Amino acid sequence: MIHRWLIPLMLLLSFGAHAAGSARWNDFATRFISADGRVIDSGNGGISHSEGQGYAMLLAVAHNDRARFERVWQWTHRRLQTRGDALFSWQWQPDASGGKVGDRNNASDGDLLIAWALLRAAERWKQPRYRGQALKILADVRSKLIKPSRFGPLLLPAEKGFEKPGGPIVNPSYWLFPAFAEFTRADRAPVWAELRQSGLALLAAGRFGQWQLPPDWLQVGETLTPAMSRRYGYNALRVPLYLAWAGLDTPERIAPFLAFWDAHPDHLPAWTDFDGNAIDPADAQPGIHAIVALLRQAAGAVRFGDGDNRDYYPAVLELLSRQAATEVRR
């Protein structure tokens, strides 16, 4: 039972959280989105990538910012969706002439983020054309990026370069758990529910190091092994965010992350190496702290810090964590 005197306080807190989130979105857009809709990765040489475009589109829908959504989408469509299919070149490099595609290969997380944002935009603003564009992307993901395995379907990180003699290499953080149910409803293909299960199976089996964490990259061969780097780092730290956002943050699944964070009360390391269990000596930026806050307080109101993020990536992680908290509480 909610006492009457609590209702104005709850409304005030809700309004305050919404206002803070909107202010942070506007700050993010001012700092990292150009006038023509290019999302600038300030911590990575000023490049742009399909992942960043997708995140910005998703957040624009969440903040009912249709003008920015359309600018980001149009830039993405004109500059990155030029491969001859519905997928996106993953990287754009700025230069004196305005920039160019740096790599025509796609990135499946960027493809899925853009499709998810388009589906949400179609629903929010009643625009069937966005839905049609999303379904074309999802169809090409299904036809080009899914590979069978003993764990269920695997999501290849890109069309080229990740099928190896020792087994395909995948990125656990590319499993976009909070989007799969929406993909199933829109696309009516069983693979999205199957990917949800395969991702959870990989996370259960593919744990490494002292804290039994998922790696940034994972080779799925006769055994599961970390690939490309033996580290839980800036890719894999999105895994707990997506688990919480999808309501899949069971105690067993989040225990390794909590153990890692609890082991370092003096600062929050963003990464750890599995060989020797070395950790990041620096304290992570606030956006990574926001993921920890989301996991620790998933059952109630999440209290996020007020620090400033220097770079694009932690800034977007904070906004995503805030959005996840909003949706989990509904």
pLDDT in tens, the chain (330 residues): 434 443 343 333 333 445 556 899 999 999 999 999 999 999 999 999 999 999 999 999 999 999 999 999 999 999 999 999 999 999 999 998 889 999 999 999 999 999 999 999 999 999 999 999 999 999 999 999 999 999 999 999 999 999 999 999 999 999 999 999 999 999 999 999 999 999 999 999 999 999 999 999 999 999 999 999 999 999 999 999 999 999 999 999 999 999 999 999 999 999 999 999 999 999 999 999 999 999 998 656 678 888 889 999 999 999 999 999 999 876
Q: Among residues 253, 90, 114, which one has the least CA distance to residue 179?
A: 114
Angle of helix 50-62 relative to helix 108-125, nearest 10 degrees, comes to 20
Q: Among residues 316, 302, 295, 320, which one has the least CA distance to residue 14?
A: 302
End-to-end CA distance of the chain: 18
Collapsed DSSP state (helix, strand, coil) of residue 242? helix
Strands (E), 117-210: 146-147, 154-155, 169-170
What distance in Å separates the CA atoms of residue 191 and residue 154, rounded to the nearest whole number? 10
Evaluate if pTM is beyond 0.85: yes
Rg (CA), the chain: 19
Q: Which amino acid is at 278?
A: A
Residue 3 is encoded by which pair of tokens? 């006492």
The residues carrying an active-site annotation are 51, 109
What distance in Å separates the CA atoms of residue 287 and residue 316, rounded to the nearest whole number? 7
Using DSSP bridges, classify how beta strands 100-103 and 146-147 pair: parallel, antiparallel or unpaired: unpaired
Q: Which amino acid is at 270?
A: A
- Ramachandran quadrant class, 45 (left: phi over 0; alpha: psi -120 to 50; beta: rest): left
Phi (first) and psi of residue 204, to 5 degrees: -70, -35
What distance in Å separates the CA atoms of residue 191 and residue 193, rounded to the nearest whole number? 6
